[in-house]
């Protein structure tokens, strides 16, 4: 399977790469079916070294305040802000510019509740059986469990799907190179964009919920759930574990 798709690095394999097998023998587009594109000049703003340093520190300070928050306020958030942060996430780089992402924004209380029921049912089995004692022990300091009140309470749930392949207007399949890492990068940009507007989230990757949530949200089979982000303002009594981050010298190597 890997042989036929050389862009799939062994280390980047995931369950969706394996399940791409099921699509074998289907009608894939040839690259000649896509149009050529013009190359145009690019000259973005350039800053002085002093300004660069200031901006790099300011951005660090903003991002260093980001925390995974599991206590979210029900207070409404402007829909336009959510749309705009997703617009920003969509600026991410992607394999062969395939933009293999779908952001499903759920604000309907009934659908949020269905998502909660699904996630809690699967997470209870994850914590009780699938994850195993070591994993559950490793998480105990975060005081997480399978109960996810934020899935009802947060004004928005953003479910990020990776499109494992595209579907062209002629209904042939289009290869989405590096779709998992492309969408993951886009999620990182989304987290930064949320932080930038003072909203909070927790990066949840609900184990074993993908297929059920995909069906619940009526998404096509080429889409696989990558991440679920409950989004809102932090609850006034929100707490976070008092974690420390690694020092710069412990994460960088200059050669
Ligand atoms: N997905 C579960 C468990 C979990 C796993 C890791 I790794 C975390 O850093 C936190 C939680 C949950 O959301 O509770």
Asked whether the predicted pLDDT for residue 1 surpasses 80, the reply is no
**Per-residue pLDDT at 7:** 66
For ligand 1, atom 1, the nearest C-alpha belongs to 206
Task: State mean pLDDT over 212-229.
Answer: 98
pLDDT (tens digit, 9 = 90+) per residue, 61-84?
999 999 999 999 999 999 999 999
Residue having the nearest C-alpha atom to atom 5 of ligand 1: 139
- Taking CA atoms only, the protein residue closest to ligand 1 atom 11 is 144
Please give the pLDDT value at position 12. 59
Cβ–ligand 1 distance for 139 under 6 Å, the answer yes
Is the pLDDT at 25 greater than 70? The verdict is no
Global ipTM:
0.90
Residue nearest to atom 8 of ligand 1 (CA): 139
Give the mean pLDDT of the chain: 93
- 3 vs 62, more confident: 62
pLDDT (tens digit per residue) in 148-168 = 999 999 999 999 999 999 999
* E strands, the chain, in order: 101-106, 156-163, 165-167, 173-175, 223-231
Ligand 1 contacts CB of residue 23 (under 6 A): no
Report CA(152)–ligand 1 centroid distance (Å): 18
Question: For the segment 99-125, what is each residue's pLDDT rounded down to a tens digit?
Answer: 999 999 999 999 999 999 999 999 999
Instruction: Please state the atom number of ligand 1 nearest to the C-alpha of residue 142.
Output: 10
**Does ligand 1 have an atom closer than 6 angstroms to the CB of 136?**
no
Give residue-wise pLDDT tens across range 36-54. Answer: 999 999 999 999 999 999 9
User: Which of 124, 138, 204 best tests ligand 1's pocket when mutated (most atoms within 8 Å of CB)?
Assistant: 204
Measured at the alpha carbon of residue 185, what is the angle toward residues 10 and 11, in degrees to the nearest 5? 10
How far, in Å, from the CA of 134 to the mean position of ligand 1? Answer: 13
Contacts 24+ apart (CB under 8 A), 104-107: 104/158, 104/159, 104/160, 104/161, 104/217, 104/219, 105/156, 105/157, 105/158, 106/156, 106/157, 106/158, 106/159, 106/217, 107/79, 107/155, 107/156, 107/157
Residues 6+ apart with CB under 8 A from 144: 70
> 124-160: b or e for each residue (b if 16 or more CB lie within 10 Å)?
eebbeeebeeeeeeeeeeeebeeebebbbbbbbbbbb
Are 240 and 68 in contact by the 8 Å Cβ rule? The answer is yes
Cα–Cα dist 11/72, whole Å: 35
The pair phi, psi for residue 152, each rounded to 5°, is: -90, -35
Of 139, 140, 141, 154, the residue with max ligand 1 atoms within 8 A of its CB, to mutate for a pocket test, comes to 139
């Amino acid at each position: 399977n890997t042989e036929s798709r050389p862009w799939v690095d062994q280390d980047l394999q995931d369950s969706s790469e394996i399940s791409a097998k099921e699509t074998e023998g289907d009608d894939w587009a040839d690259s000649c079916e896509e149009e050529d594109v013009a190359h145009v000049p690019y000259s973005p703003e350039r800053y002085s070294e002093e300004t660069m340093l200031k901006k790099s520190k300011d951005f660090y300070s903003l991002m260093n305040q980001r925390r995974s928050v599991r206590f979210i306020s029900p207070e409404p958030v402007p829909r336009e802000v959510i749309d705009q942060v997703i617009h920003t996430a969509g600026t991410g780089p992607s394999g062969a510019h395939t933009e293999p992402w779908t952001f499903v924004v759920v604000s309907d209380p009934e659908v949020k509740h269905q998502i909660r029921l699904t996630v809690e049912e699967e997470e209870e089995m994850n914590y009780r059986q699938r994850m195993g004692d070591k994993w559950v022990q490793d998480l105990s300091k975060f005081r997480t469990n399978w109960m996810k009140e934020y899935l009802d309470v947060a004004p928005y749930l953003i479910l990020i799907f990776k499109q494992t392949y595209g579907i062209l207007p002629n209904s042939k399949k289009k290869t989405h190179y590096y779709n998992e890492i492309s969408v993951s990068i886009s999620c990182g940009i989304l987290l930064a964009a949320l932080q930038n507007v003072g909203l909070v989230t927790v990066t949840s990757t609900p184990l074993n919920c993908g297929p059920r949530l995909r069906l619940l949200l009526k998404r096509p089979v080429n889409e696989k759930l990558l991440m679920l982000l409950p989004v809102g303002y932090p609850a006034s009594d929100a707490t976070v574990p008092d974690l420390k981050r690694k020092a710069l010298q412990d994460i960088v190597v200059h050669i």
